[in-house]
Structure 1
Amino acid sequence: MEYDYIIIGSGFGGSVSALRLAKKGYSVLVIEKGKWFKAEDFPKTNWNFRKWLWMPSFRFFGIMKLSIFKHVAVLSGTGVGGGSLVYANTLPIPESTFFKTGSWQKLRDWEKELAPHYQEALKMLGAARVPKLFDGDIGLQKVAQNLGMEDKFDVTNVAVYFGEENVTKVDPYFEGMGPDRTGCNFCGACMTGCRNNSKNTLDKNYLYLAQKYGAEILAEQEVCDVKPLDEKDGANGYEVTIQTSTKLFSKKRKIRSKNVIFSGGVLGTIKLLLKLKSNSLPNISDRLGEDIRTNNETLVSVSSLEKHKNYSKGVAIGSILNTDANSHLEICRYSEGSNAWKLIHMPYVTGSNVFSRLLKVVVALIKSPIQYFKIYFVNSWAKQTVVLLFMQTLDSTLRFKRNIFGLMTSTVSSGQKPTPFIPESVILIKEYSKAVNGISTSFALETIAGIPSTAHILGGAVMGANASEGVIDKNNKVFGYKNLYIIDGSMISANPGVNPSLSITAIAELAMAQIPTKEKI
């Protein structure tokens, strides 16, 4: 069968594309390498590695993937609904700087043109302000007070159905076209998969409605080739080759489509396109893999020694502190019992080289043996711990390229290389630790190798005026080919400095608005 559009990936860009194209009368196939998940399929805690982690070599087919590069460790999502299954629900609109910097800045008046699409995205994703504060949020509020920044503290806007706690109601969003929803119980399990039917994941809005309009979703399949039918510019369409992503053996299948949209996120789209550039799609811009960004962020855990507090209660990210024009701090939480992260945590220290940091780790353990013993062996880690997420709009970029083994590697492209030891974040970590009577720890990779972690990897196929400036144009069309689009985090062409899911959704809405309704024959 031949489709009008094949969409590779079912995250924010792919889901928006699927719904809008299906509504316009096009035949649509969404291909997703991850699995379908119902509420009961998600792990009860992150100790269930098989359901939580995506590690096919170990036969783990969960919703979260950890990818480690030379300069950054990346957390990403896998499954029907992409990153929405594992992200922290937070939906901020970036500051004006985002729209006026980067390779896309002169292509449109982005802030003006995207404004209505941000509102549509907020509506579709069911955004709502967090209705109450919990212990972790109160700790951040205390930091704001101590720093004289009370007016900079706020609750977040999140994709969660609050309603009545644990009460199921008929679709509250789409006039009965959507699924029933259950009011949030503030269990804190957003990032291991919502088992309460409260999180507004993409399979409950965009993808759910796309299927109503005839879109097909093919899960547990991975695209391994996209080849123009005419061997030239793709004017006659493409042949897409797929293979299983969860079974050990299967035959490859070929499907034809007039148009193809890459929506696999940076780690999916850029990896695949770097491979295809060497054979099937050689005309892709040489800018492919350039301008890879994180939000210049750090992730540090703080475990409180106050047993009567419960830091796991709330939504994944319930509050935020905007510390200055370029920076802000959020607290993240996991549900009670999801203590697996502590296995790869070490005392949080800073230093210019690995030897000084390891020495400081030893000193920290010697100075506070009882406190660290409680964290690692006695303390219920998730119940007593928040993860501090610090982000900046200040820019630096990486380049991803393909090595001789077919693997992606990273190099610094511009600015300073990413670091987990940002001075502003160090101060805030100390302040939060003081506010909650806590001890800070971080991923061992940060302590040992100085490699920061991010859940917001962006860029690699940015917009430009031509192929020498970017990989796609202002309408998300790939330079050098017809009927080929990139609509996902890899299109982000500047540093948003905030959680990017809403921006990806809004830009996807704008891209789809440029495509006309299918003509009836």
Structure 2
Amino acid sequence: MKRLASPLSALKPHYDVVVIGSGYGGSIAASRMARAGRQVCLLERGKEFLPGEFPDQQWEAATEMQLDLPDKHIGPRTGLYNFHVNPDINVLVGCGLGGTSLINANVSLKPERWVLEADEWPAALRHDQAQLDQGFARATEMLKPVPFPETLTTPAKLAALQAGAAGFGDNVFYRPPINVNFEDKVNHVGVHQEACPGCGDCVSGCNTGAKNTTAMTYLPDAKNFGAEIFTEVGVQWIEQVGDRWRVFYEHRSGRKRFNAPELFVSADLVVLAAGALGSTEILLRSRARGLHVSPRLGESFTGNGDFLGFAFNNDIAINGVGTGLKEVNDADRCGPCITGIIDLRKAPAQQVEGMVIEEGVIPSALAKFVPQALLAAADLTGKDTDRDFADNLKEWTRRLGSMVKGAYDGAVKNTMTYLVMTHDNAKGRMELEKDRLHIAWPGAGTQKIFEKVSENLRKVTQKLGGTYIKNPTWNKVMKHNLTTVHPLGGCAMGETVQTGVVNHKGQVFSGKGDTAVYEGLYVTCGAIVPRTLGVNPLLTISALAERICHYMAADRGWSISYDFPALGPEPEEETRPGIKFTERMNGFFSLYEKEDYARGERVGKEENSPFSFILTIESPDLEKMMEDPQHEAAMFGTVEAPALSPDPLIATEGTFNLFVADEEHQEGRYMRYRMQLTSEEGHTYFFEGHKVIRDDRGFDLWKDTTTLFVTLYEGADERAPVLGKGILHIDPDDFRRQMTTIKVLNTSKRLERLATQARFAKFFAANLIDVYA
């Protein structure tokens, strides 16, 4: 499978549509707007993972963990597993191209009709169920959910959940539709997918490509229709300027080591789809910088009634720990993460007390950790549901089996993971404190519904003869702290600016009237859901996004094609290691000097006309760059030049040439920098710079490699009139920082990274030796 993301150096200054986020809401917006013929750019804060690149070892998973604590951040900001820890509720979201679809359990179910007709939704949506149903149909057509096939061996955990459903009434158990592919094929958007091997690693990342994530469906579709996709781009805030929008972002390229200003891209239309937490955080930060939005921003947060639990050491095998890609017998395969459901939503009790109980799988990357954790939890909070001497002896024998042989034997082999969704009161609130997102929801875990959930899980566990373990944080000591993998709300739909953040079309209320909206600002992710859904939310989020995109296009007279062109499998693309580093240079230039660099520098100093840049230089294929006589790489970043603009300018369409031959001096070389500069005011300039690598008298290697002769042009290229000249230099401290930003691309293998760095260092040194030795 080819990578979908382009290097950031390919980012244009302006697009028709900028989409922020690549989960269901973002990928749908990118696909549909690209199909409508718009020039679309999608920005994702995480990395791109191809099948085979997801963690399947404990140490690999550890390197992909990031924790957002109330007062600090721990771990890589592009880590796949992003935990937000708060006093009342913890949240897990995915960070990568595909968003949380990369690490969810794939279940595609519609909520009960009463949920979608509840008063929390705007009347225009409640009365437009036909278009919403069309949204469900279109999402289903793209995501291809199907129940676990009857033709395959029934996983032990599926049979066990069915046994545990006894006593809850008739017809409450079934196999729910899941976004998983069970045959080897080229899918409807031209991506080759393998059949699901039943490894159980759905929630740590599918290494076979069998999961129908947005990275396998909507995102390739968007790319097929011309959308441009960029990763490791963390959007910070947005602002409106006239009839356009500016999206300010950070790139994970080492720029922060230089205290670099944010980059920006402009758009006619912006779609926020960074999830309940991400979209809310971006709007909160935008409001702090002057954007008028609803006072309801951050409210109506809900964990979708999520509740976790375990049935430990049951009397029957469960196979509830993922096996990864190792060979196992069919009888020992876990199957996809969720394959069965006990659906209690139609119980005769009050509607809000309905719930669904689903079984899960602990991914293989955590297999070594699981026995100790479950044994400790069972001893601390577990409640055995069938106590007698013979049963106790069997249970202790199984415990010993897990302690000695690990997660695939004994008590852990017989352990079921539960995920429940029900209805909480949706009274959480998100806000910024010291520019960090906090979730406050006092009493979240003490709602009576969770006692009922816990009692139902105990009943299921009793049918299996196991020990019931509640969510380890749901107790008095931990103040009944909840954990959710389905955060919703924060930018909830509403009738007016006083009751919601967006209207029924996803347009953000501007505050200039009860129903006035920003015509070019939308939210399409789970942040717009104003209440619990009582079931896995992915299909509802997708249907809402499809509906919003329908109106987004219809209101502008655009036509979205929903046909699928005939597509063969894309040829496999060999990816070789690349390299990236960030450089800072400072100096002076003068608008009044058109010919002499040194005079431009001197006059610039006298005029107090500084000039500096922070540029990231990247080559996706280092070998190709070294073999090419031009040794060309791409380049992007920011320039600060008060004589041109009081705000940083954005460098785009940049090219960097390393050690190009000097035609006048055979033993010399040049380093060349060329880029287009765009100011926030919309002015365009062209930058040309070069370093002269030549052996003159004395030791001049440092001076040559750190001195850049600069020419500015008043236009888009070198054919424009010269605007000014000057000279820039690298400070020793900045050079040390630059060395820490060197990063090898396109490989996660440590030895290959070290070898690539060594090849680059050897190439660099060899050219210097040729010149100076």
TM-score, normalised by the number of residues in structure 1: 0.87
2:340 maps to what in 1?
A: 319
Q: Which runs of 5+ in 1 are unaligned?
A: 231-235, 350-356
- Aligned positions of 1:56-95 closer than 5 A: 57-59=74-76, 61-95=78-112
Q: 1:102 to 1:290 in 2, by over 3 A?
A: farther
Which SS does the other structure have where 1:190 is aligned? Answer: coil
Q: 1:202 to 1:238 in 2, by over 3 A?
A: same
Which SS does the other structure have where 2:203 is aligned? Answer: helix
Q: Is the 8 A contact 2:303 2:424 kept in 1?
A: no
| Separation in structure 2 between the aligned mates of residue 256 and residue 148 of structure 1, nearest angstrom | 55
2:263 maps to what in 1?
A: 253
| Separation in structure 2 between the aligned mates of residue 16 and residue 46 of structure 1, nearest angstrom | 33
Q: Is the 8 A contact 2:269 2:520 kept in 1?
A: yes
Which SS does the other structure have where 1:401 is aligned? Answer: strand
2:633 maps to what in 1?
A: none
Report the Cα offset of residue 443 of structure 1.
4.7
| Separation in structure 1 between the aligned mates of residue 370 and residue 281 of structure 2, nearest angstrom | 27
| Separation in structure 2 between the aligned mates of residue 443 and residue 137 of structure 1, nearest angstrom | 21
1:115 maps to what in 2?
A: 133
Provide the identity percentage: 24
Please, what is the CA RMSD of the aligned residues?
2.9
Q: Is the 8 A contact 1:80 1:219 kept in 2?
A: yes
Q: What amino acid is aligned across from residue 329 of structure 1 in structure 2?
A: I
Q: Is the 8 A contact 1:396 1:418 kept in 2?
A: no
1:487 and 2:532 matched: no
* Pairing partner for 1:38 from 50, 55, 74: 50
Report the Cα offset of residue 92 of structure 1.
0.2
Q: Is the 8 A contact 2:86 2:440 kept in 1?
A: no
2:497 maps to what in 1?
A: 467
Q: What amino acid is aligned across from residue 438 of structure 2 in structure 1?
A: T
| Separation in structure 1 between the aligned mates of residue 237 and residue 317 of structure 2, nearest angstrom | 55
| Greater mean deviation of Cα atoms: 102-111 or 8-17 | 102-111
CA deviation map 1:334-391 (0-9, x unaligned): 3446324566668669xxxxxxx97x67999xx9895767666754077443321122
Report the Cα offset of residue 438 of structure 1.
2.7
1:275 and 2:285 matched: yes
Q: What amino acid is aligned across from residue 83 of structure 2 in structure 1?
A: L
Q: 1:179 to 1:324 in 2, by over 3 A?
A: closer
1:304 maps to what in 2?
A: 313
Q: Greater CA radius of gyration, 1 or 2?
A: 2
2:250 maps to what in 1?
A: 243
| Separation in structure 2 between the aligned mates of residue 78 and residue 470 of structure 1, nearest angstrom | 27
1:136 maps to what in 2?
A: 157
- Aligned positions of 1:71-220 closer than 5 A: 71-108=88-125, 109-132=127-150, 133-145=154-166, 147-163=167-183, 168-169=184-185, 171-172=186-187, 174=188, 177-220=189-232
CA deviation map 1:224-246 (0-9, x unaligned): 2212113xxxxx11111111246
Report the Cα offset of residue 287 of structure 1.
0.4
Q: Is the 8 A contact 2:506 2:548 kept in 1?
A: yes
Report the Cα offset of residue 463 of structure 1.
1.1
Report the Cα offset of residue 493 of structure 1.
1.7
Q: 1:372 to 1:310 in 2, by over 3 A?
A: closer
1:418 maps to what in 2?
A: 445
| Separation in structure 1 between the aligned mates of residue 77 and residue 399 of structure 2, nearest angstrom | 31
| Greater mean deviation of Cα atoms: 327-336 or 188-197 | 327-336
CA deviation map 1:155-203 (0-9, x unaligned): 010101112xxxx32x23x2xx421111111111110111111001111
Q: 1:31 to 1:324 in 2, by over 3 A?
A: closer
Q: Is the 8 A contact 2:24 2:538 kept in 1?
A: yes
Which SS does the other structure have where 1:292 is aligned? Answer: coil
1:456 and 2:486 matched: yes
2:757 maps to what in 1?
A: none
| Separation in structure 2 between the aligned mates of residue 45 and residue 128 of structure 1, nearest angstrom | 29
Q: 1:465 to 1:13 in 2, by over 3 A?
A: same
1:380 and 2:407 matched: yes
Q: What amino acid is aligned across from residue 338 of structure 1 in structure 2?
A: L
| Separation in structure 1 between the aligned mates of residue 149 and residue 451 of structure 2, nearest angstrom | 32
Report the Cα offset of residue 515 of structure 1.
2.4
Q: Is the 8 A contact 2:444 2:482 kept in 1?
A: no
1:291 maps to what in 2?
A: 300
1:389 maps to what in 2?
A: 419
| Separation in structure 2 between the aligned mates of residue 426 and residue 155 of structure 1, nearest angstrom | 22
| Separation in structure 2 between the aligned mates of residue 141 and residue 19 of structure 1, nearest angstrom | 38
Q: Matched residue pairs, number?
A: 492
Q: What amino acid is aligned across from residue 83 of structure 1 in structure 2?
A: T
Highest RCO, 1 vs 2 (Cα 8 Å, sep ≥ 6): 1
Which SS does the other structure have where 2:340 is aligned? Answer: strand
Q: 1:2 to 1:309 in 2, by over 3 A?
A: closer
2:696 maps to what in 1?
A: none
Which SS does the other structure have where 2:264 is aligned? Answer: strand
Q: Is the 8 A contact 2:382 2:468 kept in 1?
A: no
Q: 1:485 to 1:492 in 2, by over 3 A?
A: same
* Pairing partner for 2:235 from 219, 223, 234: 223
Q: Is the 8 A contact 1:345 1:443 kept in 2?
A: no
Q: Is the 8 A contact 2:78 2:232 kept in 1?
A: no
Q: Is the 8 A contact 1:307 1:384 kept in 2?
A: yes
Q: 1:150 to 1:249 in 2, by over 3 A?
A: farther
TM-score, normalised by the number of residues in structure 2: 0.59
| Separation in structure 2 between the aligned mates of residue 376 and residue 396 of structure 1, nearest angstrom | 41
| Separation in structure 2 between the aligned mates of residue 58 and residue 411 of structure 1, nearest angstrom | 23
Q: Is the 8 A contact 2:26 2:273 kept in 1?
A: yes
Q: Is the 8 A contact 1:297 1:420 kept in 2?
A: no
1:233 maps to what in 2?
A: none
Report the Cα offset of residue 115 of structure 1.
0.8
Q: 1:94 to 1:27 in 2, by over 3 A?
A: same
| Separation in structure 2 between the aligned mates of residue 430 and residue 424 of structure 1, nearest angstrom | 10
Which SS does the other structure have where 1:29 is aligned? Answer: strand
Q: Is the 8 A contact 1:21 1:512 kept in 2?
A: yes
Q: 1:76 to 1:284 in 2, by over 3 A?
A: same
Report the Cα offset of residue 51 of structure 1.
5.1
| Separation in structure 1 between the aligned mates of residue 278 and residue 19 of structure 2, nearest angstrom | 12
Q: What amino acid is aligned across from residue 182 of structure 2 in structure 1?
A: F
Q: Is the 8 A contact 1:345 1:442 kept in 2?
A: no
1:334 maps to what in 2?
A: 362
Q: Is the 8 A contact 1:302 1:441 kept in 2?
A: yes
Q: 1:44 to 1:384 in 2, by over 3 A?
A: farther
Report the Cα offset of residue 110 of structure 1.
4.5
Report the Cα offset of residue 131 of structure 1.
1.1
CA deviation map 1:30-89 (0-9, x unaligned): 111100001111011455224542457433744221111122111111100001100000
1:408 maps to what in 2?
A: 437
